[in-house]
Amino acid sequence: MVGESPREALVIGIGNVLWADEGFGVRAVEALHHRYAFPSSVVLLDGGTQGLNLLEDVACSRRVLVFDAVDYRLPPGTLKVLRDADVPAWGRARLSPHQTGFNDVLAHAALQGRGPERITVIGVQPEALDDFGGSLRPAVRARGTLKALYELQRAGIVTLDQYRVLDEGYRFLRSLDVRLRLAHDASIDSFDPQWLETERLERYRKETDRIRKVYLELLGLP
């Protein structure tokens, strides 16, 4: 990938799904991949705990959006957004259990003059990181979404119109997911469109398209 033309955006999830809330970043990107369609200029990546193996992907991206479990020393499930200079660089405060590796990535990219123009980290305060084989805790898995949307709007990171789109879309998709699980033992990530009435299917397509457009706006893409 060295010498490759810069891509517009990289959305990356960092963490280890085997250690409870450590898997937040990876699970967040998986959800985006399963539920929304993005143009070829936006790459979604399971960064896992790859460390310096992520260098080329990060270095050739103009914008990087990172999902991670970050120890802010706040109540579990709290989400916080860091942008650009607020994202710790080489030798500065270590926020997440594996962040030294990602700091190395940013530092090496900067030394090569190939780092991203913009970087945003969306971090969740984990509750448990030492439960091998455990799943995301409820505070991390479920509590954060609507609260996160509100906090993002309150902080001016998303506009009021974007907040309304994301809020309405999330509520509809959550209710549809519950309906599919009860009626077909399936989820919104994998279902047969024939199971839905025409009106509900059209609403599903409308909401996912609206949400996708907001994500692209937040990434600064047309």
Q: Which two tokens stand for residue 42?
A: 């936006």
Q: Coil, strand, or helix at residue 40?
A: coil
What residues have CB less than 8 Å from 113, skipping those under 6 apart?
Answer: none
What pLDDT score was predicted for residue 155? 53
What pLDDT score was predicted for residue 13? 86
What pLDDT score was predicted for residue 145? 58
What pLDDT score was predicted for residue 199? 94
What pLDDT score was predicted for residue 90? 43
Is this model's pTM higher than 0.75 or not? no
* Span 82-129, pLDDT tens digits: 888 887 654 444 555 555 567 788 888 888 888 788 888 888 777 666
Domains of the chain: 7-135 (3.40.50.1450), 160-218 (no CATH)
Exposure string of 188-217, with b = 16+ CB inside 10 Å and e = fewer, is beebeeeebeeeeeebbeebbeebbebbbe
Q: Tokens 């990219």, residue?
A: 109
**Average pLDDT of every residue of the chain:** 76
**Dist. CA 195–CA 204, nearest whole Å:** 12
What parts of the chain have a pLDDT lower than 70? 1-6, 17-20, 34-39, 49, 88-101, 127-157, 219-222
What pLDDT score was predicted for residue 91? 42
Closest CA to 11 of 2, 127, 36: 36
Closest CA to 16 of 62, 51, 48: 48
